[in-house]
Structure 1
């Protein structure tokens, strides 16, 4: 079926409402119609994510309904007896409507739904699936994407995002639904009457908050001195406002100041068009407040409160947004060193990071004789490892993080959790403050001990069908035609995660990569620098991760500048060929 056939089918369907048809008829640009209809919105391991509008390649009640019918078919095929699904949603436009649509379809298929009364963070949904023993979970969010986007993430019964095998099986069920008339739905009022729909809230929140508080490592220090830490916090118009402030308040952090203009939920993100704590611009209002408040730390959480960005003052008095890698290595070191000091560090302790996350982590874990495990990009793979540890008893999970501002301690949640992140960051700031150090001082101390690691990420936006094709072609070019050296430095190792091959170029040997297949390439150079190329799973982008190691901060910066230029020259050439 061509995109035009698909477009016409929507216009003629009795199941598409007149308002949606009117929107479609108003689109005059053929390229725009093609982009809306050249494919079904792709259901991957992250579920769905796309622009909110009419069309098969967009987020709307019809694509949500179809995906949910597929999920319902998958659940009814794989489970017997009573099946329940828990659903949460964030502050984005249409999040509530999409969550109710998903609930309606599931209930119509005889599946019990636990739907939150109002917005909740993604990690709370992960916890709820486990707490209520649901067979699956759904959260409606597009994380840190711009306001035009929304998404639909699916979780398995363990509370982690569905991984490759389950995602493929769900996709197979979705692909069998060829007509909208095959999507069942029920009025939510009737679903409640038939005891198929439960509205949930505080009873779940309280147990979650109690478990977050129990992750405190230095309990006495926090109990006595939490009030000494001064914090500025911004929820960036998202779902973190209530739970983050609640847990900090209950732990005794009384000096938490919230950025008022970014406090309330708002799917248009009026003060932050790109509501991403990786972006320094989202902290402009917080930094103005800082002139008077003079906080020890500033942090912000994204709309679904699974990522956290941290701002600290450096030696010159300038505020700096820490990278996800910097926050992650600080927390890794704080957690491990504190557990060791308190004689609570298990012999089989493990830290988990993704393949694009800082190698400085390895130096820290080696120093404390803690195992470091690498997984593919995506927190679902960290959640999968936690489950494996529980089954085999091979390791005790200590901490996991990825460079994209996500981290997790504890095992009652199986996704990155900025509520937990905020709690541990406050404790870490308090610990260093008691020693007369700022968080920036602590970071410099780590650099001086383990090496001056510098990481960088470049995202190349390539929209539409042509953009997707260009990304795939560029990665194939790099897979087969990359020069043997970059800026005079030899490439010594090549990791091809699609072919599951690790090649030692110097010794001309190959070994098998024991990770799921993914269209990702990683190249390691003779001087310890490396870069990774992969397509984004959630945006029309190709991502290029780079890392170098310097003798000091300025040397690391200079090396990264030169390396970045050399790598991007190669990447741009691969995109053009």
Structure 2
């Protein structure tokens, strides 16, 4: 069906409400109509994500309904007594989408647990396992701008769907008619009949207690938590209540919340791009810091699975740590603290993604721990945790990715900023008692392990033309790129789409034992490396760059040159 035919079918359908039809009839730009209808909103391993609007390529109650009908068919086909948990964040339409999903699932006879109000994404991951559900849904678009929303699906292990399961769900979705094939029931009726169960504090308390149990230096926290000065911003999201509750119950009394960003608000009035990777989201927190003079500042994104941390440097200024820097600090703190307290297992393992700092390897080697690389996406870290439980090969210590997500503990199988906030505060308290800031601690690690420097460049390429340009660029890099970057030879090429690792000087190839993914990685003879991949959730191509220098100035100079050299190649590939 062409985009014009699909557009007309929505206007003609008896199942589409009058307001939606009015929105569609008001569109005068043919390109806009094409972009809304040239395809169905893609359901991948991360579920759905898109701009909130009418159309088959947008987030709305109809695309959510169709996806949920496909998921329902998958669940009833594969499980005798299917059950599912649903959570949502503070975004526009999140509650409506959550209730539409609940309506479809209940109409299909799937026992459904729906949180009474907004909850962080990691709490959904926990709840799936806690209630022995077969799947989970969280309505969120993470840190995207306010125009977006999304629909993430979890398996019975509390992990995001595997590639195989996602393909099976997609097959069921594609068999569903956009409108007439979607079953619905009134949510109040479903609740009265006991198919829909509203959940809240009874689940919250168990989760909060498990987060508190992750504290390593319990005596230190019990005695001194009140001495740590903290500023926290939930950036209008779902972290406000659980983060503050955990810290309060652990004794962190000296906590100031950024009032202007405290309340849930899907319009994100103070942070148009509510991403803790963006330093601008902390501007109000920094104004408050002049008055409070905190030991640490941190913020969580709208669905509270990512954390951004600010540390005070020698000049008294607060600087935003990168996801790599926070992850490296936590890796070292967790391992060293477990060793100090006699709890470090012999078979401990840290897991990171292939685009995350290699400085982590130096730390794990120093303590005799194993470091395991996985593809980008926290589900691959979750899969490793499950593998460890089955094989007993390793004890999971910590996992993180450069994009500000990390996890300690195994009761959640996704990145968790409630957990991260708890550990960041414990770590900041530990260093404060030694007269050090987190910036001091990071610099000490650089002195010991080397001055690693990483950078992410995101190239935004919107719409159908943008997707075509991304594929063209990746094809060029895969097939036509030279064997050097500005005269520095490439020694290894990793093509995760073909699962081939190539030793360039030796002209030898071997198989990559990871799932297939459209990602390319290049390692140069001076130890620098870069990775190129399309974003799985945004209209972007991402370029990850890394160098190491003998000191801070050297690493920054190397990064400036490397960034220019690599981006010259990328820009040429995009033409």
**Matched ranges for 1:536-555 at <5 A:** 536-555=535-554
Aligned positions of 1:178-327 closer than 5 A: 178-327=177-326
SS, match of residue 344 in structure 2 = coil
Which residue in the other structure is 1:570 paired with? 569
In the alignment, the residues of structure 1 paired with residue 341 and residue 188 of structure 2 have an alpha-carbon distance, to the nearest angstrom, of 53
| Distance of 1:170 and 1:498 partners within structure 2 | 22
For the residue of structure 2 that corresponds to 1:343, the secondary structure is: coil
The aligned counterpart of 2:386 is 387
Counterpart position of 1:9 = 9
Residue 462 of structure 2 corresponds to which residue in structure 1?
463
Equivalent position of 2:494 in the other structure:
495
**Secondary structure of 1:128's aligned partner:** helix
1:33-48 pair list within 5 angstroms: 33-48=33-48
Partners of 1:218 and 1:502 in 2: CA distance: 42
Does 1:62 pair with 2:101? no
Superposed CA offset, 1:363-419 (max 9, x none)? 000001100000000000000100011011111000000000000000000000000
- SS at structure 2 position matched to 1:381: helix
Asked whether 1:117 is paired with 2:131, we answer: no
* Residue 190 of structure 1, CA deviation: 1.1
Question: In the aligned structure 2, how far is the partner of 1:400 from the partner of 1:303?
Answer: 21
RMSD: 0.6
Whole-angstrom CA distance in 2 between matches of 1:572 and 1:78? 46
Structure 2 Cα separation of the partners of residues 3 and 532 of structure 1: 35
Residue of structure 2 equivalent to 1:412:
411
Following the alignment from structure 1 to structure 2, what is the Cα–Cα distance between the partners of residues 66 and 230? 48
Partner of 2:527: 528
Tell whether the 8 Å contact from 2:6 to 2:37 is kept in structure 1 after alignment.
Answer: yes
Count residues with an aligned counterpart: 575
| Structure 2 alignment gaps of length 5 or more | none
Any idea what SS the aligned residue of 2:425 has?
helix
Deviation at 1:319, TM superposition (A): 1.4
Report the TM-score when normalising by structure 2: 1.00
Preserved CA contact (<8 Å) 2:356 2:402: yes
Q: What does 1:340-489 correspond to in 2, within 5 Å?
A: 340-489=339-488
Tell me the alpha carbon deviations over residues 415-446 of structure 1, each in whole angstroms, 9 at most, x when there is no partner.
00000000000000011111111100000000
Q: Secondary structure at the match of 2:92?
A: coil
**SS of residue matched to 2:151:** strand
Q: How far is the alpha carbon of 1:193 from its aligned partner?
A: 1.7
Per the alignment, residue 104 of structure 2 pairs with 105
Aligned-partner Cα distance in 2 for 1:131–1:372: 29
- Aligned mates of 1:137, 1:312 — CA distance in 2: 36
Over residues 506-534 of structure 1, what are the superposed CA-to-partner deviations in whole Å (9 max), with x where a residue is unaligned?
12111100000000000000011000000
User: How far apart in 1 are the matches of 2:68 and 2:343?
Assistant: 44
Matches within 5 A, 1:151-190: 151-190=150-189
Which residue number in structure 1 is paired with residue 52 of structure 2? 52
| Superposition misfits of 4+ residues, deviation over 2 angstroms | none
Residues 227-284 of structure 1, C-alpha deviation per residue, up to 9 Å, x if partnerless? 1100000000000000000000000000010000000000000000000000000000
Structure 1 CA distance, aligned partners of 2:326 and 2:455?
A: 14
Q: CA deviation at 1:315?
A: 1.4
Structure 1 residue 178, shift from structure 2 partner: 2.8
- How big is the shift at 1:2? 1.1
Distance 1:550 1:94 in 2: 47
Question: Aligned equivalents of 2:260 and 2:430: distance in 1?
Answer: 30
SS at match of 1:410: coil
**Deviation per residue, 1:79-110 (Å, 9 max, x gap):** 01x22100000000000000000000000000
SS at match of 1:181: coil
What SS is found at the alignment partner of 1:182? Answer: coil
Aligned partners of 1:555 and 1:29: how far apart in 2? 51
CA contact under 8 A between 2:497 and 2:518: conserved in structure 1? yes
Name the residue aligned to 1:133. 132
Alignment deviations for residues 301-355 of structure 1 (CA, whole Å, 9 cap, x no partner): 0000000000111112221100000000000000001111111111111000000
Task: Give 5+ residue unaligned stretches, structure 1.
Answer: none
Cα deviation 1:442-467 (Å, max 9, x = unaligned): 00000000000000001101001011
- Give yes or no for contact 2:125–2:136 (8 Å, CA) kept in 1: yes
Per-residue deviation, residues 43-98 of structure 1 (Å, max 9, x unmatched): 00100000000000000000000000000000001001x22100000000000000
Residues 62 and 178, structure 2, Cα contact 8 Å, conserved in 1: no
Give the Å deviation of 1:5.
Answer: 1.1
Looking at structure 1, the residues matched to 516 and 109 of structure 2 have their Cα atoms a distance apart, in angstroms, of 35
| Matches of 2:171 and 2:371, distance apart in 1 | 35
Q: In 2, Cα distance between the equivalents of 1:87 and 1:418?
A: 19
Q: What is the CA distance between 1:189 and its match in structure 2?
A: 1.3
C-alpha displacement of 1:201: 0.2
Alignment TM-score, normalising by the size of structure 1: 0.99
Contact 2:490–2:522 at 8 Å: present in 1 too? Answer: yes
- Displacement, 1:485? 1.0
C-alpha separation between the residues in 2 aligned to 1:568 and 1:106? 47
Post-superposition offset of 1:179: 3.7
For residues 143 and 387 of structure 2, what CA distance do their matches in structure 1 show? 29
